[in-house]
């Protein structure tokens, strides 16, 4: 029975791990953090700034967010440019309920399109269908993410402009956190991976990668599960619904 959950989401102003941690604690789990990534906003080019200024006031544009992190970084980038997102006329699309909630918080309104399945390929197909052949979409995204969303949208004839607004940087996990992880019993603890980048960074930075093989690994979805297997690890269970809520539900089942 799972009692302790290790959360691998990055810490910092754009981390977004507080929501997951609180939900897990409300379910009665003991939560530990093992952060091996840092989110860093990138400097926008003059061309990027021009796209921001052109798209936000126009209802002819869509802005597609692939993660809550992308929403929060976008807010700060716009703030630096003096752009008030509450005045935006652009239509908004979100991948998954967590991203939808972030959009509602930052923009103060509901999204125009939400993909319930948190997979970039599915999200892109849904938006491409909505856009038709002459749509225009801005995609603020991680510089380290999979380049699959925009190509699918472009196949429909629409214009998709990708702007890498942030990057993920590997950092050595806190020594105390590492020690605490090693002291856990594999029989009643697990480590949760919410993204492929978290898998790769954790394996790269954890002082004793072999120890990770002792832990039960919970994955948010198939892309992350593939990263787990590519790293030489085994997936204990994959969430049926590829969302934060799906991970919580999955862990609830493991605790019974």
Nearest to 142 by CA among 228, 217, 67, 225: 67
Check residue 107 and give its pLDDT: 93
Q: What is the CA radius of gyration of the chain?
A: 19
Q: How many CB atoms lie within 10 A of CB 24?
A: 21
Nearest Cα neighbor of 194 from 19, 1, 4 is 19
pLDDT score of 253: 81
95 contacts 120 by C-beta, under 8 angstroms: yes
Ramachandran angles phi, psi of 90, nearest 5°: -65, 150
In terms of residues, how long is the chain?
Answer: 256
Terminal C-alpha separation, the chain: 6
Domains of the chain in start order, with CATH, are 4-36+171-254 (3.40.50.10090), 41-168 (3.40.50.10090)
pTM above 0.75, yes or no: yes
Which pLDDT does position 217 carry in this prediction? Answer: 95
Q: Are 5 and 189 in contact (CB under 8 A)?
A: yes
Q: What phi, psi does 94 have (nearest 5°)? A: -135, 140
Burial class for 208, CB neighbours closer than 10 Å (0-12, 13-18, 19+): exposed
The full 3-state SS of 38-77, as one line of letters, equals EEEECCCCHHHHHHHHHHCCCCCEEEEECCHHHHHHHHHH
The whole-angstrom separation of Cα 137 and Cα 158 is 8
DSSP string, 107-157: HSS--SEEESS--HHHHHHHHHHHHTTS-EEEEEEETTS-TTHHHHHHTTT
In the chain, which stretches have pLDDT less than 50?
Answer: none
Place of tokens 């892109």: 124
Lookup result for tokens 């990708």? 162
Q: What is the structure's pLDDT at 14? A: 64
The tokens for 85 are 């997102």
* Dihedral sign, Cα of residue 19, residue 12, residue 146, residue 49: positive
């Amino acid at each position: 029975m799972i009692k302790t959950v290790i959360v691998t989401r990055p810490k910092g102003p754009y981390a977004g791990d507080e929501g997951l941690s609180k939900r897990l604690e409300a379910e009665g789990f003991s939560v530990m953090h093992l952060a091996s990534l840092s989110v860093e906003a990138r400097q926008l080019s003059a061309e990027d700034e021009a796209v921001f200024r052109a798209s936000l006031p126009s209802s002819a544009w869509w802005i597609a967010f692939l993660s809550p992190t992308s929403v929060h970084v976008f807010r700060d980038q716009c703030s630096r440019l003096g752009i008030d997102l509450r005045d935006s006329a652009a239509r908004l699309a979100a991948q998954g309920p967590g991203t939808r909630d972030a959009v509602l918080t930052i923009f103060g309104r509901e999204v125009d399109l939400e993909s319930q399945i948190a997979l970039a390929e599915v999200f892109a197909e849904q938006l491409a269908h909505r856009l038709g052949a002459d749509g225009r979409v801005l995609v603020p995204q991680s510089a380290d993410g999979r380049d699959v969303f925009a190509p699918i949208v472009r196949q429909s004839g629409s214009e998709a402009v990708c702007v890498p607004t942030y990057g993920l940087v590997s950092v050595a996990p806190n020594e105390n956190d590492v020690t605490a992880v090693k002291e856990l019993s594999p029989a009643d603890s697990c480590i949760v991976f919410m993204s492929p980048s978290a898998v790769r960074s954790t394996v790269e930075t954890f002082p004793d990668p072999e120890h990770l093989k002792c832990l039960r690994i919970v994955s948010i979805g198939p892309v992350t599960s593939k990263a787990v297997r590519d790293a030489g690890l085994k997936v204990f269970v994959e969430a049926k619904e590829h969302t934060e809520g799906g991970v919580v539900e999955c862990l609830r089942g493991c605790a019974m």
